[in-house]
Structure 1
Amino acid sequence: MASRGRCGGASAHEDEPRRDEQAEQQAPAPRGPILPPPPPVDYGVFMQGLVQAMQTQTHTQAALQAQLEAQVE
């Protein structure tokens, strides 16, 4: 049983470098200019915009609901 472990372990180790080499060969070369990292996110501004969008959606939904109820009556 020990020989099986060595055999299986050796074949597994032999496969690993091959997988790495194949991954390197298959990886596409980057094209075009390398872009700088994006600016840091101001989460306060982001949250204000998100809240404003949610409030707008709520008001729009309420207005549409009122319009629908007015048409039914």
Structure 2
Amino acid sequence: MASRGRRGGVPARDDEQRREERVEQQAPAPQGSVLPPPPPVDYGVFMQGLVQAMQTLAHTQAALQAQLEAQQAQALAQDHGGPSIMERFKRMTPP
């Protein structure tokens, strides 16, 4: 059998009809009752929570910044004025 471009010997029209049936099966029409609208949002409570979250974030960020600055100051205090290990490694010559 010398069919070109198709496997299984299925005619093109049957294949297209099957594809259309699959599309129809994948997108069912909405059934049942429509959901009621959501309850009204209490924006005051929402805004209070948002402000509290922003304050917590600012406090955490300030604490982390202070911790980082303290670590950097400690690293500078431990530095004895010589080149760093990485600088010494870069200057090494091959054996």
Matched residue type, 1:56: T
2:63 is aligned to: 63
Q: How much is the aligned-residue C-alpha RMSD, in angstroms?
A: 2.3
Identity fraction in percent:
85
Higher relative contact order (CA 8 A, sep 6+): 2
Runs of 4 or more off by more than 4 Å in structure 1?
Answer: none
Q: Counterpart in 1 of 2:46? A: 46
Question: What amino acid is aligned across from residue 71 of structure 2 in structure 1?
Answer: Q
Mark the CA change 1:59 to 1:32 in structure 2 (over 3 Å): closer, same or farther.
farther
* Alignment deviations for residues 2-60 of structure 1 (CA, whole Å, 9 cap, x no partner): xxxxxxxxxxxxxxxxxxxxxxxxx9622576432211000110110110011011001
- Aligned positions, number: 47
SS for the counterpart of 1:41 is: coil
The structure whose Rg is larger is: 2
Report the TM-score when normalising by structure 1.
0.54
Q: Aligned equivalents of 1:31 and 1:61: distance in 2?
A: 50
Higher helix fraction (1 or 2): 1
Gaps of 5+ in 1: 1-26
